[in-house]
Amino acid sequence: MVDHRPPHYVLRKGKYAYWMPTPAMKVMGFEPVALGLHGPESKALAYQWEARYQNARKGNEPITGQFYPPNSVGDGFARFKRSNEWKRKPPRTQEDWERGWKFIEPVFGRDNPSKITFELLDRWYAHLCAVKGDGEAGRAMKTWRALYKVLAALKLCVAGQDPSLSIRKKSIAGRTQTWRQFEVVRLVKDAWRNGYGGLACIIAVAWDTGFSPVDARTLTPAQAITSGQDMAFAIDRTKTSESALGTTSPRTQRIVEAYIQSLPYDLHDDAPIFRTKGYAPTAKGGRPRNSVPYTKDSLVSDFADARLRVFGPDETRRLMDIRRSGAVEANAGGASVESISAKMGNSIDENKKLQATYMPVNIAAVRAADDARRIGRKKLGEERNEFKKLKLGKGES
Protein backbone atom coordinates (compact mmCIF):
# COMPACT_ATOMS: atom_id res chain seq x y z
CA MET A 1 0.00 0.00 0.00
CA VAL A 2 1.31 3.45 -0.95
CA ASP A 3 1.92 5.77 2.00
CA HIS A 4 0.46 9.07 0.78
CA ARG A 5 1.95 11.99 2.65
CA PRO A 6 1.01 15.68 2.72
CA PRO A 7 3.34 18.23 1.11
CA HIS A 8 6.29 19.26 3.29
CA TYR A 9 5.73 16.22 5.52
CA VAL A 10 9.02 14.83 6.82
CA LEU A 11 9.87 11.82 8.99
CA ARG A 12 12.84 11.68 11.30
CA LYS A 13 14.18 8.44 12.75
CA GLY A 14 11.44 6.75 10.77
CA LYS A 15 8.63 7.67 13.18
CA TYR A 16 8.68 11.35 14.24
CA ALA A 17 6.66 13.52 11.86
CA TYR A 18 7.30 17.20 11.08
CA TRP A 19 5.80 19.76 8.76
CA MET A 20 8.90 21.45 7.31
CA PRO A 21 8.44 24.75 5.44
CA THR A 22 10.85 25.75 2.68
CA PRO A 23 13.15 28.79 3.08
CA ALA A 24 10.67 30.87 1.07
CA MET A 25 7.86 29.78 3.39
CA LYS A 26 9.98 30.68 6.43
CA VAL A 27 10.34 34.20 5.08
CA MET A 28 6.54 34.42 5.18
CA GLY A 29 6.62 33.53 8.87
CA PHE A 30 6.11 29.75 8.85
CA GLU A 31 8.25 27.59 11.11
CA PRO A 32 8.79 23.82 11.47
CA VAL A 33 5.98 22.12 13.36
CA ALA A 34 6.38 18.91 15.36
CA LEU A 35 3.40 16.69 14.52
CA GLY A 36 4.07 13.78 16.85
CA LEU A 37 4.37 10.13 15.89
CA HIS A 38 3.81 9.23 12.25
CA GLY A 39 0.22 8.24 11.61
CA PRO A 40 -3.22 9.49 10.55
CA GLU A 41 -3.33 12.22 13.23
CA SER A 42 0.03 13.69 12.27
CA LYS A 43 -0.97 13.66 8.59
CA ALA A 44 -4.25 15.40 9.34
CA LEU A 45 -2.41 18.12 11.27
CA ALA A 46 0.07 18.51 8.39
CA TYR A 47 -2.80 19.00 5.94
CA GLN A 48 -4.14 21.76 8.21
CA TRP A 49 -0.80 23.55 8.11
CA GLU A 50 -0.58 23.10 4.36
CA ALA A 51 -4.03 24.63 3.94
CA ARG A 52 -3.00 27.57 6.11
CA TYR A 53 0.08 28.11 3.97
CA GLN A 54 -1.95 28.00 0.76
CA ASN A 55 -4.43 30.52 2.16
CA ALA A 56 -1.60 32.84 3.18
CA ARG A 57 0.09 32.46 -0.20
CA LYS A 58 -3.14 33.40 -1.98
CA GLY A 59 -3.74 36.34 0.33
CA ASN A 60 -6.80 34.82 1.98
CA GLU A 61 -5.24 34.74 5.46
CA PRO A 62 -3.26 37.60 7.00
CA ILE A 63 0.42 36.91 7.56
CA THR A 64 1.29 37.97 11.11
CA GLY A 65 4.91 36.84 11.13
CA GLN A 66 4.17 33.84 13.37
CA PHE A 67 1.87 30.86 12.97
CA TYR A 68 0.67 28.49 15.66
CA PRO A 69 -1.14 25.16 15.77
CA PRO A 70 -4.93 25.51 15.36
CA ASN A 71 -6.79 26.17 18.62
CA SER A 72 -3.57 26.98 20.47
CA VAL A 73 -2.99 30.00 22.72
CA GLY A 74 -0.95 31.69 20.00
CA ASP A 75 -3.58 30.94 17.38
CA GLY A 76 -6.27 32.45 19.59
CA PHE A 77 -4.23 35.58 20.26
CA ALA A 78 -3.51 35.99 16.53
CA ARG A 79 -7.26 35.71 15.81
CA PHE A 80 -8.01 38.27 18.49
CA LYS A 81 -5.47 40.73 17.03
CA ARG A 82 -7.30 40.57 13.69
CA SER A 83 -10.59 41.54 15.36
CA ASN A 84 -12.19 44.96 15.56
CA GLU A 85 -12.20 44.66 19.35
CA TRP A 86 -8.40 44.63 19.35
CA LYS A 87 -8.23 47.56 16.95
CA ARG A 88 -10.45 49.61 19.27
CA LYS A 89 -8.05 49.18 22.19
CA PRO A 90 -5.96 52.29 22.91
CA PRO A 91 -2.32 52.01 21.74
CA ARG A 92 -1.02 51.96 25.30
CA THR A 93 -3.31 49.04 26.15
CA GLN A 94 -2.11 47.14 23.09
CA GLU A 95 1.49 47.79 24.20
CA ASP A 96 0.70 46.32 27.63
CA TRP A 97 -0.74 43.19 26.04
CA GLU A 98 2.30 42.76 23.79
CA ARG A 99 4.65 43.30 26.72
CA GLY A 100 2.94 40.55 28.69
CA TRP A 101 2.62 38.29 25.64
CA LYS A 102 6.39 38.08 25.14
CA PHE A 103 6.56 36.08 28.40
CA ILE A 104 3.53 33.92 27.59
CA GLU A 105 4.41 33.01 24.00
CA PRO A 106 7.64 31.00 24.50
CA VAL A 107 6.03 28.79 27.14
CA PHE A 108 2.36 28.44 26.17
CA GLY A 109 2.10 29.83 22.64
CA ARG A 110 1.75 26.44 20.95
CA ASP A 111 -0.33 24.77 23.66
CA ASN A 112 -4.07 24.29 23.74
CA PRO A 113 -5.34 26.58 26.55
CA SER A 114 -7.63 23.87 27.91
CA LYS A 115 -4.55 21.71 28.58
CA ILE A 116 -2.68 24.33 30.62
CA THR A 117 -2.88 23.36 34.29
CA PHE A 118 -2.49 25.17 37.58
CA GLU A 119 0.89 23.49 38.14
CA LEU A 120 2.25 24.75 34.81
CA LEU A 121 1.09 28.29 35.46
CA ASP A 122 2.38 28.21 39.02
CA ARG A 123 5.90 27.20 37.91
CA TRP A 124 5.82 29.75 35.07
CA TYR A 125 4.84 32.61 37.38
CA ALA A 126 7.37 31.66 40.06
CA HIS A 127 10.12 31.53 37.44
CA LEU A 128 9.19 34.97 36.10
CA CYS A 129 9.19 36.44 39.60
CA ALA A 130 12.69 35.07 40.18
CA VAL A 131 14.12 36.10 36.80
CA LYS A 132 12.21 39.26 35.80
CA GLY A 133 10.91 40.53 39.12
CA ASP A 134 7.45 40.85 40.62
CA GLY A 135 6.47 43.77 38.38
CA GLU A 136 7.02 42.08 35.02
CA ALA A 137 5.69 38.78 36.35
CA GLY A 138 2.52 40.52 37.53
CA ARG A 139 2.10 42.19 34.13
CA ALA A 140 2.47 38.82 32.39
CA MET A 141 -0.09 37.23 34.72
CA LYS A 142 -2.50 40.12 34.16
CA THR A 143 -2.15 39.62 30.40
CA TRP A 144 -2.73 35.88 30.72
CA ARG A 145 -5.94 36.36 32.70
CA ALA A 146 -7.28 38.86 30.17
CA LEU A 147 -6.25 36.60 27.30
CA TYR A 148 -7.93 33.58 28.90
CA LYS A 149 -11.27 35.39 28.72
CA VAL A 150 -10.71 36.03 25.02
CA LEU A 151 -9.75 32.38 24.43
CA ALA A 152 -12.91 31.32 26.28
CA ALA A 153 -14.99 33.58 24.03
CA LEU A 154 -13.35 31.84 21.05
CA LYS A 155 -14.48 28.49 22.54
CA LEU A 156 -10.89 27.32 23.03
CA CYS A 157 -11.32 26.80 26.78
CA VAL A 158 -14.03 26.86 29.43
CA ALA A 159 -15.14 30.30 30.60
CA GLY A 160 -14.60 30.99 34.30
CA GLN A 161 -12.20 28.06 34.74
CA ASP A 162 -8.88 29.92 34.50
CA PRO A 163 -6.50 27.94 36.75
CA SER A 164 -4.33 31.04 37.30
CA LEU A 165 -7.04 32.52 39.54
CA SER A 166 -5.76 30.22 42.29
CA ILE A 167 -2.39 32.00 42.16
CA ARG A 168 -2.06 35.13 44.27
CA LYS A 169 -0.01 37.80 42.54
CA LYS A 170 2.77 39.46 44.49
CA SER A 171 1.99 43.12 44.95
CA ILE A 172 4.62 45.77 44.43
CA ALA A 173 4.68 49.20 45.95
CA GLY A 174 3.46 51.95 43.65
CA ARG A 175 5.49 55.02 42.87
CA THR A 176 5.11 57.91 45.28
CA GLN A 177 7.80 60.33 44.09
CA THR A 178 6.85 63.93 43.34
CA TRP A 179 8.55 67.06 42.01
CA ARG A 180 8.46 70.60 43.35
CA GLN A 181 7.83 73.58 41.08
CA PHE A 182 11.30 75.12 41.49
CA GLU A 183 12.86 71.77 40.53
CA VAL A 184 10.79 71.57 37.37
CA VAL A 185 11.73 75.15 36.49
CA ARG A 186 15.41 74.20 36.77
CA LEU A 187 14.89 71.26 34.43
CA VAL A 188 13.07 73.43 31.87
CA LYS A 189 15.82 76.07 31.94
CA ASP A 190 18.57 73.48 31.58
CA ALA A 191 16.89 71.81 28.61
CA TRP A 192 16.30 75.12 26.87
CA ARG A 193 19.84 76.40 27.41
CA ASN A 194 21.33 73.18 26.05
CA GLY A 195 19.33 73.32 22.83
CA TYR A 196 16.60 70.85 23.81
CA GLY A 197 13.69 73.21 23.19
CA GLY A 198 11.22 70.40 22.55
CA LEU A 199 12.13 68.71 25.82
CA ALA A 200 11.83 72.01 27.73
CA CYS A 201 8.32 72.51 26.34
CA ILE A 202 7.25 68.94 27.17
CA ILE A 203 8.39 69.30 30.79
CA ALA A 204 6.69 72.69 31.18
CA VAL A 205 3.47 71.54 29.52
CA ALA A 206 3.39 68.31 31.57
CA TRP A 207 3.75 70.32 34.80
CA ASP A 208 0.96 72.78 33.98
CA THR A 209 -1.52 70.42 32.36
CA GLY A 210 -1.00 67.25 34.39
CA PHE A 211 -0.71 65.27 31.14
CA SER A 212 1.20 62.02 31.04
CA PRO A 213 4.53 61.99 29.13
CA VAL A 214 2.99 60.28 26.10
CA ASP A 215 0.14 62.80 25.94
CA ALA A 216 2.54 65.75 26.31
CA ARG A 217 5.01 64.59 23.67
CA THR A 218 2.33 63.84 21.07
CA LEU A 219 0.50 67.18 21.24
CA THR A 220 -0.31 68.75 17.86
CA PRO A 221 -1.26 72.29 16.73
CA ALA A 222 -4.80 71.05 16.10
CA GLN A 223 -5.18 70.34 19.84
CA ALA A 224 -4.19 73.86 20.92
CA ILE A 225 -7.06 76.12 21.97
CA THR A 226 -7.45 79.45 23.75
CA SER A 227 -9.56 80.42 26.74
CA GLY A 228 -9.41 84.14 27.26
CA GLN A 229 -5.70 84.95 27.29
CA ASP A 230 -4.69 81.39 28.20
CA MET A 231 -3.35 78.62 26.00
CA ALA A 232 -4.76 75.15 26.57
CA PHE A 233 -4.73 71.74 24.91
CA ALA A 234 -7.84 69.60 24.39
CA ILE A 235 -6.99 65.94 23.93
CA ASP A 236 -8.32 62.41 24.11
CA ARG A 237 -5.93 60.64 26.44
CA THR A 238 -3.75 58.01 24.77
CA LYS A 239 -4.20 55.41 27.49
CA THR A 240 -7.90 55.72 28.31
CA SER A 241 -9.28 57.63 25.28
CA GLU A 242 -11.08 59.93 27.76
CA SER A 243 -11.27 63.66 27.08
CA ALA A 244 -8.91 65.97 28.94
CA LEU A 245 -8.30 69.70 28.94
CA GLY A 246 -4.92 71.05 29.99
CA THR A 247 -4.34 74.73 30.72
CA THR A 248 -0.88 76.31 30.63
CA SER A 249 0.68 79.18 32.53
CA PRO A 250 1.77 82.40 30.77
CA ARG A 251 5.40 81.31 31.18
CA THR A 252 4.80 77.97 29.50
CA GLN A 253 2.80 79.66 26.76
CA ARG A 254 5.75 81.95 26.01
CA ILE A 255 8.15 78.98 25.88
CA VAL A 256 5.93 77.02 23.50
CA GLU A 257 5.39 80.01 21.22
CA ALA A 258 9.12 80.79 21.17
CA TYR A 259 9.91 77.18 20.35
CA ILE A 260 7.44 77.05 17.47
CA GLN A 261 8.83 80.32 16.08
CA SER A 262 12.34 78.84 16.19
CA LEU A 263 11.43 75.90 13.95
CA PRO A 264 12.72 76.26 10.38
CA TYR A 265 9.44 74.97 8.98
CA ASP A 266 5.70 75.28 9.48
CA LEU A 267 4.01 72.54 11.45
CA HIS A 268 1.11 70.60 9.97
CA ASP A 269 -2.00 70.67 12.16
CA ASP A 270 -1.70 66.97 12.95
CA ALA A 271 2.09 66.84 13.30
CA PRO A 272 3.63 66.49 16.79
CA ILE A 273 4.87 69.87 17.97
CA PHE A 274 7.81 68.91 20.16
CA ARG A 275 10.87 67.35 18.60
CA THR A 276 14.34 66.13 19.41
CA LYS A 277 17.41 68.34 19.22
CA GLY A 278 18.93 66.74 16.15
CA TYR A 279 22.58 67.17 15.27
CA ALA A 280 24.50 69.33 12.82
CA PRO A 281 28.09 68.26 11.98
CA THR A 282 30.84 70.43 13.44
CA ALA A 283 34.41 71.00 12.33
CA LYS A 284 35.22 67.66 13.92
CA GLY A 285 32.75 65.92 11.61
CA GLY A 286 29.91 63.58 12.50
CA ARG A 287 26.74 62.45 10.80
CA PRO A 288 23.87 64.94 10.52
CA ARG A 289 20.70 63.93 12.36
CA ASN A 290 17.40 65.63 11.69
CA SER A 291 15.09 66.77 14.45
CA VAL A 292 12.21 64.28 14.69
CA PRO A 293 9.11 63.91 16.90
CA TYR A 294 9.90 62.50 20.30
CA THR A 295 9.42 58.81 20.89
CA LYS A 296 9.07 57.14 24.27
CA ASP A 297 12.73 56.07 24.32
CA SER A 298 14.21 59.35 23.08
CA LEU A 299 12.17 61.33 25.63
CA VAL A 300 13.30 59.08 28.48
CA SER A 301 16.91 59.42 27.35
CA ASP A 302 16.91 63.21 26.95
CA PHE A 303 15.07 63.74 30.24
CA ALA A 304 17.58 61.51 32.03
CA ASP A 305 20.44 63.59 30.61
CA ALA A 306 18.83 66.85 31.80
CA ARG A 307 18.14 65.33 35.23
CA LEU A 308 21.78 64.24 35.49
CA ARG A 309 23.06 67.70 34.60
CA VAL A 310 20.79 69.44 37.11
CA PHE A 311 20.58 67.05 40.06
CA GLY A 312 23.45 64.60 39.65
CA PRO A 313 23.59 60.79 39.40
CA ASP A 314 21.68 60.06 42.62
CA GLU A 315 18.39 61.54 41.39
CA THR A 316 15.97 58.84 40.15
CA ARG A 317 12.66 60.64 39.78
CA ARG A 318 11.07 60.40 36.33
CA LEU A 319 9.09 62.60 34.02
CA MET A 320 5.98 60.55 34.80
CA ASP A 321 6.17 61.68 38.45
CA ILE A 322 5.27 65.22 37.38
CA ARG A 323 1.68 64.09 36.78
CA ARG A 324 1.43 62.78 40.33
CA SER A 325 2.91 66.03 41.66
CA GLY A 326 0.01 68.05 40.26
CA ALA A 327 -2.56 65.78 41.91
CA VAL A 328 -0.74 66.06 45.26
CA GLU A 329 -0.71 69.87 45.04
CA ALA A 330 -4.38 70.05 44.10
CA ASN A 331 -5.34 67.69 46.92
CA ALA A 332 -3.34 69.68 49.46
CA GLY A 333 -5.08 72.83 48.24
CA GLY A 334 -8.52 71.35 48.90
CA ALA A 335 -9.58 70.57 45.31
CA SER A 336 -12.59 68.31 44.98
CA VAL A 337 -12.32 64.85 43.46
CA GLU A 338 -14.40 66.10 40.54
CA SER A 339 -11.96 68.94 39.81
CA ILE A 340 -8.91 66.70 40.02
CA SER A 341 -10.62 64.17 37.76
CA ALA A 342 -11.37 66.87 35.19
CA LYS A 343 -7.81 68.13 35.40
CA MET A 344 -6.20 64.72 34.95
CA GLY A 345 -8.61 63.43 32.34
CA ASN A 346 -9.51 60.26 34.21
CA SER A 347 -12.18 58.92 36.56
CA ILE A 348 -10.77 58.38 39.97
CA ASP A 349 -13.81 57.05 41.80
CA GLU A 350 -15.19 53.55 41.44
CA ASN A 351 -17.83 54.22 38.76
CA LYS A 352 -16.05 55.51 35.70
CA LYS A 353 -19.17 55.73 33.53
CA LEU A 354 -21.06 57.85 36.03
CA GLN A 355 -17.98 60.02 36.57
CA ALA A 356 -17.76 60.71 32.83
CA THR A 357 -21.51 61.28 32.56
CA TYR A 358 -22.07 63.64 35.48
CA MET A 359 -18.67 65.32 35.61
CA PRO A 360 -17.69 66.09 32.00
CA VAL A 361 -14.49 67.96 31.34
CA ASN A 362 -15.05 71.72 31.56
CA ILE A 363 -12.85 74.78 31.86
CA ALA A 364 -14.35 75.83 35.21
CA ALA A 365 -13.45 72.51 36.85
CA VAL A 366 -9.96 72.61 35.36
CA ARG A 367 -9.41 76.17 36.62
CA ALA A 368 -10.60 75.09 40.09
CA ALA A 369 -7.93 72.40 40.12
CA ASP A 370 -5.32 74.95 38.98
CA ASP A 371 -6.30 77.31 41.81
CA ALA A 372 -6.14 74.49 44.33
CA ARG A 373 -2.70 73.50 43.06
CA ARG A 374 -1.39 77.00 43.72
CA ILE A 375 -2.80 76.92 47.26
CA GLY A 376 -1.44 73.44 47.83
CA ARG A 377 1.96 74.41 46.43
CA LYS A 378 2.19 77.19 49.00
CA LYS A 379 1.14 74.89 51.84
CA LEU A 380 3.60 72.20 50.80
CA GLY A 381 6.35 74.82 50.67
CA GLU A 382 5.60 75.96 54.20
CA GLU A 383 5.25 72.46 55.63
CA ARG A 384 8.42 70.37 55.47
CA ASN A 385 6.50 67.15 56.21
CA GLU A 386 9.36 65.85 58.32
CA PHE A 387 8.82 63.59 61.32
CA LYS A 388 11.18 62.86 64.19
CA LYS A 389 11.27 59.86 66.42
CA LEU A 390 9.25 60.39 69.59
CA LYS A 391 10.92 58.75 72.55
CA LEU A 392 8.44 57.22 74.92
CA GLY A 393 9.46 55.93 78.31
CA LYS A 394 8.87 56.09 82.00
CA GLY A 395 11.15 59.08 82.34
CA GLU A 396 9.11 61.11 79.83
CA SER A 397 6.52 63.53 81.18
Which one has a higher pLDDT value, 33 or 237? 33
CA distance 223 to 207: 17
Detail the DSSP E strand segments found in the chain: 9-12, 16-19, 33-37, 224-227, 230-236, 243-247
Give the pLDDT confidence of 364-386 residue by residue, as tens digits. 667 777 888 888 888 877 766 55
* Average per-residue pLDDT for the chain: 83
User: C-alpha angle with apex 172: 169 to 344, nearest 5 degrees?
Assistant: 110
CA distance 312 to 306: 9
CA distance 18 to 39: 11
pLDDT of residue 355: 41
pLDDT of residue 131: 93
Count the helices and strands in the chain (H runs, E runs): 16, 6
Reduced to 3 states (helix: H, G, I; strand: E, B; else coil), residue 235 is strand
Overall average pLDDT of the 182-190 stretch: 96
Give the pLDDT confidence of 290-319 residue by residue, as tens digits. 889 999 999 999 999 999 999 999 999 999
pLDDT of residue 352: 52
Phi, psi of 346 (to 5 degrees): -140, 180
pTM assigned to the model: 0.64
With cut-offs at 50, 70 and 90, classify the pLDDT of residue 196. Answer: very high
User: C-alpha angle with apex 35: 118 to 64, nearest 5 degrees?
Assistant: 80
Q: Is residue 116 pLDDT above 50, yes or no?
A: yes
pLDDT of residue 247: 86
To 10 degrees, what angle do helices 91-108 and 118-132 make?
110
With cut-offs at 50, 70 and 90, classify the pLDDT of residue 62. Answer: low
With cut-offs at 50, 70 and 90, classify the pLDDT of residue 390. Answer: very low
Lowest mean pLDDT of 169-178, 206-215, 319-328, name the range. 169-178
Would you give the DSSP letter of residue 90? -
Reduced to 3 states (helix: H, G, I; strand: E, B; else coil), residue 124 is helix
pLDDT of residue 351: 45
Q: Is residue 129 pLDDT above 90, yes or no?
A: yes
